[in-house]
Amino acid sequence: MSFNNLLIEITDGTAIVTVNRPAALNALTVEVLEELSAAFAELTQDASVACVILTGSGAKAFVAGADIAAMQSLDAVSAGFFARLGHDVLNVIENFPKPVIAAVNGFALGGGCELAMACDIRIVAENARFGQPEVNLGVIPGFGGTLRLARLVGKGRAKELIFTGDMINAQEAYRIGLANKVVAAEELLATARDMATKIATKAPIALRFAKEAIDNGLEMDLDRAGRFESNLFGLCFATADQKEGMQAFLDKRPAKFVGR
């Protein structure tokens, strides 16, 4: 895989996808979004990859938003298409059949905050800053910020962040549930890698079903969500990994999962 705006490195079952436009603080253009979509499509097919880490290039930013210079001259129709593209790509990441960890290494603003929220887990450096500053530019969040922020931190806090355009630091992001963990900047990638390596030892189909049950279950009433979860639980028993996992427990040995 070779891209103009992304770096991809695969080791020990983990792919690290780095948005690589440091001169523009990794701001998202149409090309970056299309490359993210292509990269995740390829990683879906790559059986050697169990988990993905998404991060930004340089010490300053994860992603500082959609590219304001590229957006400035859009008309209503093309801005709508750009927003739609952002939604589609973030949905690809959210629905990616393997866990995705955002390693947030600095500013995660606007589209960058939205990108981090499309990931399953956010590990953030002490210097990370989150915000939805779109109202400062005369627009609203357009890559799902109004939806995902409200679901992650609640309606009141989402409205406060979106209406004020304020940035919050890593500790505040942790306090309100936007960040899973805060670590020193120099430990960020190692911490994300450790978590990814641990996840990579688990049963891949069970991970996929758990992700589907959580994400879909939150959009259903409890009764439907319960039935959806029960069906996926039942389906686990059609896998070799369920047989291996339970046998390994009874044999008092570590399980060896094969993803079937």
User: What is the set of active-site residues?
Assistant: 114, 134
Residue 224 sits at φ, ψ, to 5 deg, of: -65, -40
Judge whether 125 and 104 are in contact, CB under 8 Å: yes
Record the tokens describing residue 117, joined without a space.
């929220």
The span from the CA of 239 to the CA of 29, in Å, is 41
> Least distance in Å: CB of 210 to ligand CO8?
30
> Least distance in Å: CB of 69 to ligand CO8?
5
Judge whether 257 and 243 are in contact, CB under 8 Å: no
Judge whether 102 and 115 are in contact, CB under 8 Å: yes
Tell me which residues touch ligand CO8 (CB under 6 A): 24-25, 27, 64-69, 71, 79, 82-83, 86, 107, 109-111, 133-134, 137, 141-143
What Rg, from alpha-carbon coordinates, does the chain have? 19
> Least distance in Å: CB of 120 to ligand CO8?
21
